[in-house]
Amino acid sequence: MAQESYPVLLTKIEEFSDTVWNFHFEFQEKPRFDSIPGQFIMVEVPKEGEERSVKKPYSIASPPYSENKIELCIKKVEGGFVSNWFFSLKEGDKIEFFGPKGAFRVKDPIPDHLMFVATGTGIAPLRSQFEQLLHDGHQGQISFVFGNRYEDEIPYFEELKELAAKYPNFNFLPTISRPKNWDGEKGYVQDLIRKKFADPTGIHVYICGLIPMVNDLRECLADLGYAKEAVHFEKWT
C-alpha cells in the first residue's frame, strides 16, 4: 500500500551551525497529518542517472499542536546524499513528505518524572514530545539532558532556556564534551546522569541519538539500577 504524500513549502531555515540546520515547512494543498510526538516522516529524493530514488526517514522536531507546520532538524553528513540535498534547498522550495510513521512515543501511564536524553540532532523527536506535554499542561517533572560537542552548536539553545524559565517543572541540563569557553556541565550525558540522577526511583528515560551513545547510556542506566521497562530509546545510524 502506497504511503500518502503531503506537499510542503520550505518557509524558513535556521542555521544552528555550519552542519546543523532547522527547516520549517508549511503544508500545501492538504492539511497537516495527524501525528504522535516522536514519529518521523520519509522523504524520497531522485538520484540523477538512476531509476531508483533514495528514501530517508527524519524525525519530526516540532509538536503536533503546531498547526499546518512541521520542523526537521538535520545534520549535514559528509557523503550523505539526502542530507546534502536538504542543505541545497532554499526558502520557497516545495517538496513532498510521506508519513507519518514510527512507534517511539511517551507511554501511558506517565510517571512522576520523565527524563529525556539526546545528543545533537537526536533532540528532534524528544523536542516534539516534551513540548507537546508542556503545551497540554503536564505537571510532572520533565528533565532534558542534552549533550553536544561545542557550546556554540547547541540546537534550540535559547528556546530551551526560555522553556525552563517559563515552566517550573521543566529542567534543561546541557553538557558539553569539548568545551571552549563554557561554565556549565562538562563531559558526556552519562557523566551528568551519574552525577544528578543516580537514584532511578520514579524516573522513566527516553533516549535518542547515535547507536554508540544509546548503547553506552543504556549500560550506564542499568548499572545505576534503572529497570529495562523504564528505559525507552530510538537509535540512529
pLDDT of 49 over the 70 cut: no
Are 123 and 36 found together in one domain?
no
pLDDT of 1 over the 90 cut: no
pLDDT, residue 212, reads 95
Last residue of a domain, one of 42, 75, 101: 101
Are 168 and 199 found together in one domain?
yes
pLDDT, residue 124, reads 98
CATH number, position 90: 2.40.30.10
Are 218 and 180 found together in one domain?
yes
pLDDT bucket at 135, cuts 50 / 70 / 90: very high
Are 154 and 231 found together in one domain?
yes
Last residue of a domain, one of 101, 126, 146: 101
DSSP state of 77: P
pLDDT, residue 114, reads 98
Give the span between the Cα atoms of 110 and 203, in whole angstroms.
Answer: 10
Last residue of a domain, one of 101, 134, 160: 101
Helix (H, G, I), strand (E, B) or coil at 84: helix
Are 122 and 70 found together in one domain?
no
Rg, the chain, Cα only: 18
Give strand pairing partners of 123: none
User: What is the amino acid identity at position 86?
Assistant: F
Please give the grid coordinates belonging to residue 143.
Answer: 528533565
DSSP state of 2: P
Are 88 and 132 found together in one domain?
no
- Domain containing 79 equals 5-101
Are 117 and 223 found together in one domain?
yes
Residue 201 counted as domain residue: yes
pLDDT bucket at 2, cuts 50 / 70 / 90: low
Residue 106 counted as domain residue: no
Residue 165 counted as domain residue: yes
Across the chain, what does the average pLDDT equal?
95
pLDDT, residue 3, reads 73
Are 34 and 145 found together in one domain?
no
pLDDT of 165 over the 80 cut: yes
Residue 83 counted as domain residue: yes
Helix locations, the chain, DSSP H: 81-86, 123-135, 157-166, 189-196, 211-224
pLDDT, residue 48, reads 77
pLDDT, residue 234, reads 93
Are 87 and 63 found together in one domain?
yes
Are 97 and 146 found together in one domain?
no
Are 93 and 120 found together in one domain?
no
Range 151-170 average pLDDT: 97
pTM, entire model? 0.95
User: What is the amino acid identity at position 125?
Assistant: P
Burial call 38-64: b when 16+ CB within 10 Å, e when fewer: bbbbbbbeeeeeeeeeeebebbbbbbb
Of 106, 114, 101, 98, the residue nearest 45 (C-alpha): 98
Residues contacting residue 17 through CB under 8 Å, at least 6 positions apart: 152, 153
Are 96 and 154 found together in one domain?
no
pLDDT, residue 194, reads 97
What is the domain count for the chain? 2
pLDDT tens-digit readout, 72-125: 999 999 999 999 999 999 999 999 999 899 999 999 999 999 999 999 999 999
Residue 210 counted as domain residue: yes
Residues contacting residue 178 through CB under 8 Å, at least 6 positions apart: 149, 150
Strands, E, within the chain: which ranges? Answer: 5-15, 20-27, 40-46, 53-59, 69-75, 94-101, 113-119, 141-148, 170-176, 185-186, 203-210, 231-236
Residue 108 counted as domain residue: no
Range 201-227 average pLDDT: 97
Give the span between the Cα atoms of 182 and 224, in whole angstroms.
Answer: 28
Residue 202 counted as domain residue: yes
Cell 539532558 found at: 145
Q: What is the largest CA-CA distance in the chain?
A: 56
CATH number, position 120: 3.40.50.80
H or E element that contains 42: strand 40-46
Residue 107 counted as domain residue: no
Sign of CA dihedral 182, 128, 94, 26: negative
